[in-house]
Structure 1
Amino acid sequence: MPARNLVSNGSPSTKVKYSRLASDDDGYIDLQFKKSPPKVPYKAIALATVLFLIGSVLIIVGSLLLAGYFGVTPSDRTIPVLIIGILVFLPGFYHLRIAYYASKGFPGYSYDDIPDFDD
């Protein structure tokens, strides 16, 4: 392409090369549609694993208390242990399931669905 002088205020400046755009150019380039590799939220997955394990232990202990396996006489402790276990287990299971499906590449699942705790 021929170089043209850019003139501003009547004085020539540095040589700037110009080129015509292609007639079929719609203003987009392929690079802007390329997906970046997924960022894995390791802290969130570790927290989900801890919640899942603590909830599982509390559900098992609450079930054994409810069944009378430990022989605890005041049975008013069993229901709160089960409720807390379920409340801790559910978010851990939910986020671990999303992380598993995202790691296997199932359609509709991505690591973006897991809240990230990086500051």
Structure 2
Amino acid sequence: MMPKRSVVDGGSAKYHKLTKSHDDGYIGLQFERPPPKVPYKAILLATVLFSIGTILLIIGSLLLTGYISAEYADRTWPVIIIGALMFIPGAYHVRIAYYAYKGYSGYSYDDIPEFD
């Protein structure tokens, strides 16, 4: 059934006002999620933390086992601790970014903090 129209004279053109039908003011687009915004800076930082943390952990482990002769053996544990402090958050966020890129359920780029 067509909605009723009333004719309004607007000079040289006639305008028709539509009466309110079953339109409740909502459109389907407002319920769709926008495409995810990829936090490139945060992913780059996570990759750098992961890489440097891995290198420091390997160097610290080689110093601890004696494959690299340590002139100052007291620097072994700080290298391992700093490597672990960099490796853990880097690996965590790189994993989230990888799973979000692959589209696994439960993972999205919203879980990675942005820098603005």
- The question of a shared fold, defined as TM-score above 0.5 by the shorter chain, is answered with yes
- Do residues 2 (structure 1) and 1 (structure 2) align? no
- Do residues 110 (structure 1) and 108 (structure 2) align? yes
User: Mapping of 1:31-110 within 5 angstroms?
Assistant: 31-110=29-108
Q: What SS class does the counterpart of residue 61 from structure 2 fall into?
A: helix
Cα distance in 2 for residues equivalent to 1:69 and 1:59: 14
| Aligned-residue offset at 1:19 | 2.0
**Paired amino acid for 2:85:** L
Cα distance in 2 for residues equivalent to 1:17 and 1:58: 74
| Aligned-residue offset at 1:116 | 1.2
Aligned to 1:12: none
Q: Any stretches of 5+ residues in structure 2 without a counterpart?
A: none
Aligned to 1:21: 20
Q: Any stretches of 5+ residues in structure 1 without a counterpart?
A: 6-14
Cα distance in 2 for residues equivalent to 1:92 and 1:56: 10
| Aligned-residue offset at 1:18 | 2.9
How high is the sequence identity, in percent, across the aligned residues? Answer: 62
Cα distance in 2 for residues equivalent to 1:105 and 1:71: 46
Runs of 4+ in 1 over 6 A off after TM superposition: none
**Paired amino acid for 1:55:** G
Cα distance in 2 for residues equivalent to 1:37 and 1:4: 42
TM-score (ref. length: structure 2): 0.82
**Paired amino acid for 2:49:** L
| Aligned-residue offset at 1:86 | 0.3
Cα distance in 2 for residues equivalent to 1:16 and 1:34: 33
| Aligned-residue offset at 1:90 | 0.8
Count of residue pairs the alignment pairs up: 111
